[in-house]
Amino acid sequence: MTKWSLSTLSRLKSDWLFTVVTRSSACVAAAIVFLVVAFLISESIPAIRQIGVGRFITDASWHPLSDQFNLTPMIVASLTITLGAILIAAPLGISAAIYCQFYAPTAIAVWYRRLIELLSGIPSVVFGLWGLVVLAPIVARLGGSGQSILTASLVLGLMILPTVALTTQAALRSVPGEWLAGGAALGFCRSSTIRRIALPAARRGILGGLLLALARAMGETMAVLMLAGNVVEMPDSIVAPARTLTANIALEMGYATAGHRSVLFVSGLFLIAIVAVSVSLAGFGGAVDE
């Protein structure tokens, strides 16, 4: 759209109204994020004051009803499952993007992309159900009940794969054609062109995509809630059950009161902080490249 400033094109009264209404809507929409954070903080304050941040690490266990608030097993579980998901999604997602951008014939590339876009819209609760019915029995053969860190990581990896693939492809697409042509002129074969020119040039965009995927995996609730087993324990193997921070919120919010409820808001605040940092880093990386 054309850029106007208030003083240049026209100064009709109705335009003044239009400008004020639209700009204030934009500010209201942007302010919602502050409202969210403000409410999380105000609900967290009782826990931080009465219980103190230190006890989230030093308490003996997570037994909120008997005043024990150790969050570490859940933080560890969240990080482990997220890491597992990234380890699965990164190589496969990047390969899928490279295939789509450099190898697939145009007609196939279009449909391949559509399939991936479609999968990014499948509800997490449906992925969770699929994992529960199909994948958990298979994983159970390795030991445990089937509801474990491994199952949750596998399904979560599948869920964030579209994010990795789509952002990587967008980054690869924005590599200037001359650079690739230059590679061909130097006698590079296709794999060298990709490895030596395309991937380094798209590095920032790919990294940004991985950060977005990490944020999504960290915040994902339903699939993990249905697949990780939800036992609050320090996990000792990948087929052991675990409970993530997000699953803990979803499980206990229904009956939590007073200090317990407040601790759940603290974990929400912690999640939003992690996500905001990764999204800002991803945004800065992408923006600089443009």
Partner 1 sequence: MNSLTDRLVSLMIGSAAALVAAVLGWVLLDILYRGIGDLSWEFLAQPPEDAGRSGGIAPIIVSTMLILMVALIAAVPLSLSAAAALAQQRHRRFGWAWIASRCLDVLAAVPSVVFGLFGNAFFCVALGMGYSILAGGLTLACMILPILIHTTEHGLRAVPADYHYAAASLGLSRTTTFFRITLPAALPAIAAGLVLGIGRALAETAALIFTAGYVTRQPESLMGSGRSMSVHIFDMAMNVPAGDGRANATAALLVAMLLIINAAAMSLASKASAKLSGQTAEDMNSRQYV
Stretch 219-238 residues interacting with partner 1 (CB under 8 A): 219-222, 225-226
The residue range among 56-64, 67-75, 129-137, 231-239 that interacts with partner 1, by the rule CB under 8 A, is 129-137
Q: What is the DSSP letter of 65?
A: G
Q: Applying CB under 8 A, does 275 fall inside the site for partner 1?
A: yes
Q: Cβ distance 217 to 245 under 8 Å?
A: no
Mark the segment that binds partner 1 (CB under 8 A) among 136-144, 170-178, 201-209, 218-226: 218-226
Query: Please, which of residues 98-127 interact with partner 1 by CB under 8 A?
Result: 98-100, 103-104, 112, 114-119, 121-127
CB of 66 to partner 1, least distance (A): 23
Taking CB under 8 A as the rule, does residue 56 contact partner 1? no
Residue 128 found at the interface with partner 1 (CB under 8 A):
yes
Which string of b and e fits 236-271 if b means at least 16 CB within 10 Å?
A: eebbbbbbbbbbbbebbeeebeeebbbbbbbbbbbb
Q: What are phi and psi of 39, to 5 degrees?
A: -65, -40
Positions 142 through 171 that interact with partner 1 (CB under 8 A): 158, 161, 165
Nearest distance, CB of residue 43 and partner 1, angstroms: 5
Q: Which residues pair with 229 in a beta bridge?
A: 242
Q: Is 280 one of the binding residues for partner 1 (CB under 8 A)?
A: yes
CA 236 from chain center: how many Å?
25
Residue 99, token pair as written in the block = 């295939």
What letter represents residue 16's amino acid? Answer: W
User: Which position among 57, 87, 134, 186 is part of the footprint of partner 1 (CB under 8 A)?
Assistant: 134
